[in-house]
Amino acid sequence: MAVLEERVNQLEEMVMRLVYIQQKTEIEMQRLQKEMKEFKDEMLEFKEWAKKTIEENHEWSKREVRRINKQWGELANKMGTIVEDIVFPAVRPVIKKYFHCDPEVLMMNVERKKGELREEFDVIAVCKDKVFLIEAKSTLRAEHVVQMKEKMNRFKELFEE
């Protein structure tokens, strides 16, 4: 009987240990579930923050691209006017020297419109028997020659005189 009593005591002790372990496991599981929920909430907040940050950076990038493109355009326009400002003062002396005539009319940035036809000319110089049409380019390209031919035809239509 003593052996039986000892075994019952051991069994009771093991059951108590199992109950203790089960309670401890449940408490640990609840703690882990709480931590997992907090982690999930943090990740959702991070995801929202990351999405917002990406969108803000995308908008900033688009604004910067527009700003830089605008600056490039302004710079290109300045380069065009610099070339014109350099060329224009030399027109009269060059025409006198190489074509032996003194321009009676010398105009810069002339714009003319006739119906739907509209054109702008960098420099027009008019002598008694000649007309000079000058386009200033910072870099000459082959297509500029073709464009100049077309521009001369439009010039003839716009300035019939």
What pLDDT was estimated at residue 3?
A: 81
What pLDDT was estimated at residue 80?
A: 65
Tens digit of pLDDT for each residue in 13-47?
A: 898 998 889 999 999 999 999 999 999 999 999 99
The conformation of residue 39, written as its DSSP 8-state character, comes to H
Terminal Cα distance for the chain, rounded: 138
Q: Assess whether pLDDT exceeds 90 at residue 58.
A: yes
What pLDDT was estimated at residue 83?
A: 67
DSSP 84-116: HHHHHHHHHHHHHHHH----SEEEEEEEEEETT
120, 110 Cβ separation under 8 angstroms: yes
Q: How confident is the model at residue 141 (pLDDT cuts 50, 70, 90)?
A: confident
The conformation of residue 20, written as its DSSP 8-state character, comes to H
What region does 91 belong to: left with phi over 0, alpha with psi -120 to 50, or beta? alpha
Q: What are phi and psi of 33, to 5 degrees?
A: -60, -40
